[in-house]
Amino acid sequence: MTVTGDDTSEAAWLEDARPRLRSAVRVGPALARGPATIHYVADAQTRAYFQVGPREAFLMRRLDGARSLADLGAEYAGRFGRRLDAAHWQRLLGLLADRRLLDPAGPDELARMREKAELARRSEGRSALHWRVPIPGAARLVPAVGRRAGWLLHPVVAAPLAVAGLVVCVLVTLNWSALYAEVRPGWGVLAALLAWLMYAVHELAHGVACHRYGGLPTQIGVMWRFPLMAPYCKVDDVVTFPRAWQRVATAFAGVYVNLALLVPLGALWLWGPDGPRPLVAALLLSGATIVLVNLLPVLRLDGYHMLEHATSTADLQGESFRFAAAFLRHGPAGVRAYPRRARWLHASYTLVSVAVLAPVAFLVVRLWFETLAGLWGAKAAVLVLGAEAVLVGVLLRWWVLRRQRRRAERQD
């Protein structure tokens, strides 16, 4: 890709070169990440994902093998006000070639990229508090499941089922004490197993929705997230879906399935026989809890991702906390680089998070203090809480530094 010689040879190369992005490569929509705008790039063959800026995304979308670099340079100049020379093109095309995003790319090269991407995915975010065990071949079963059960995601079916599930969820909330009184310990193991299976279907629904809109899950398996063991489904392709509603629907699919499962359970509780009522009550409580917890936008669960996709943002929570920290350290000058929309969005999310999490944290600390004081006395309870606060502060600092290091590595 190196061009040597005078301006004539450079111009001839720009006129003749017609690079083409491989058909398996998709460039996602613009997403706001703090003060910047990014695009995700996905390779459906290697399952590798990259992050680029708006200028690179503009050019990559136009690498179709029909237009020359000179033609693309003219379009680029009309959009960004400057024309790219051969050196700029060589850097961009060299980067794309290194990642095997251009045609042609041999099967051995693609296999190596696939192995590298899978290794990175397996090692991502592993710690004593969080790790994943993917089930081999599980993600490849999603298209078959989608062909048989995808009709459940059609709006004509999904809308009334979701509304009916919300009605049952409200009824469960209003009758929480009565349902809890009906739960019997003898049904506990079976109720826990069925609730776990309900959540497995929840995760599978994300994969089916991802496939419905043109993607495919990268992993399906079991995840340890302290203190729970739960199924998971990674739908990384969602960041390349062109329409926000497709991304929101994929994030909502799990909650939708839980709402749909609440409908027959609600009918059984209202009109069914008395024998299985303790089991039905336990499943209604667990199902409604899954729905309500997942919809909270301050937790990094479905509701949070729905909000991210609806606002076309990336890492909304982390960027909001960085925004708040910059504002607290430097005042308005610290957030001047953020566009107006980003300032409003990050400030709103931070305020909502504080409004939701602060009372919850206060109640948890109060309950824990009262428990410790009842065991060892008030002074000992204060010492224990103080030590725990220091430990939490150290862990949070380690977590922040770790995220900053990983973010710097991704940018490199």
pLDDT tens-digit map of 34-78: 999 999 999 999 999 999 999 999 999 999 989 888 899 899 999
Burial classification of residue 54, based on how many CB atoms lie within 10 Å of its CB (0-12 exposed, 13-18 middle, 19 or more buried) = middle
Closest to 255 in 3D by CA, of 213, 293, 212: 293
Name the percent of the chain lying above pLDDT 70.
Answer: 95
* Category of 245 on φ-ψ map: left (φ > 0), alpha (ψ -120 to 50) or beta: alpha
Which of the pair, 7 or 200, is modelled with greater confidence?
200
**Is the separation of the CB atoms in 130 and 395 below 8 Å?**
no
Q: How far apart are CA 360 and CA 343, in angstroms?
A: 26
Q: How far apart are CA 320 and CA 353, in angstroms?
A: 10
pTM of the model: 0.87
Q: How far apart are CA 388 and CA 394, in angstroms?
A: 10
Dump the DSSP string for 171-187: HHHHTHHHHHHH--GGG
User: In the prediction, which pLDDT does 398 show?
Assistant: 79
User: In the prediction, which pLDDT does 369 show?
Assistant: 84
**Is the separation of the CB atoms in 315 and 342 below 8 Å?**
no
The least confident of 141-145, 245-249, 318-322, 407-411 is 407-411
User: In the prediction, which pLDDT does 128 show?
Assistant: 64
Q: How far apart are CA 54 and CA 118, in angstroms?
A: 26
Q: How far apart are CA 59 and CA 312, in angstroms?
A: 21
Which of the pair, 406 or 49, is modelled with greater confidence?
49
User: In the prediction, which pLDDT does 362 show?
Assistant: 87
Mean pLDDT computed over 159-182: 94
Mean pLDDT computed over 392-404: 76
Q: Which amino acid is at 66?
A: A
Q: Residue 67 CA to chain centroid, in angstroms? A: 35
Q: How far apart are CA 258 and CA 172, in angstroms?
A: 13
User: In the prediction, which pLDDT does 1 show?
Assistant: 47
Answer yes or no: is pLDDT of 108 > 70: yes
Q: How far apart are CA 410 and CA 186, in angstroms?
A: 50
Closest to 169 in 3D by CA, of 288, 255, 283, 281: 288
Neighbours of 220 (CB within 10 A): 25
**Is the separation of the CB atoms in 315 and 11 below 8 Å?**
no
What does R_g of the chain's alpha carbons equal in angstroms?
26
Burial classification of residue 196, based on how many CB atoms lie within 10 Å of its CB (0-12 exposed, 13-18 middle, 19 or more buried) = middle
User: In the prediction, which pLDDT does 395 show?
Assistant: 79
Answer yes or no: is pLDDT of 186 > 60: yes
User: In the prediction, which pLDDT does 3 show?
Assistant: 54
**Is the separation of the CB atoms in 305 and 251 below 8 Å?**
yes
Answer yes or no: is pLDDT of 259 > 90: yes
Q: How far apart are CA 376 and CA 110, in angstroms?
A: 62
Mean pLDDT computed over 271-286: 92
User: In the prediction, which pLDDT does 27 show?
Assistant: 95
Instruction: Give me the residue spans of the domains in the chain.
Output: 7-115, 125-310, 316-411
Answer yes or no: is pLDDT of 275 > 50: yes
Report helix angle 244-271 to 277-295, nearest 10. Answer: 160
Tell me the CATH number for domain 7-115: 3.90.930.60
Q: Token pair for residue 232?
A: 């998971």
Q: How far apart are CA 113 and CA 119, in angstroms?
A: 10
Closest to 252 in 3D by CA, of 310, 299, 311, 317: 310
Tokens 């992993």 -> residue: 219
Q: How far apart are CA 4 and CA 295, in angstroms?
A: 58
Name the β-bridge partners of 127.
Answer: 130
Q: Token pair for residue 316?
A: 């909304």
Closest to 234 in 3D by CA, of 404, 120, 116: 120
Q: Residue 250 CA to chain centroid, in angstroms? A: 10
The DSSP element (H or E) to which 48 belongs, if any, is: strand 48-52
The least confident of 20-24, 167-171, 367-371 is 367-371
Tokens 């089930």 -> residue: 135
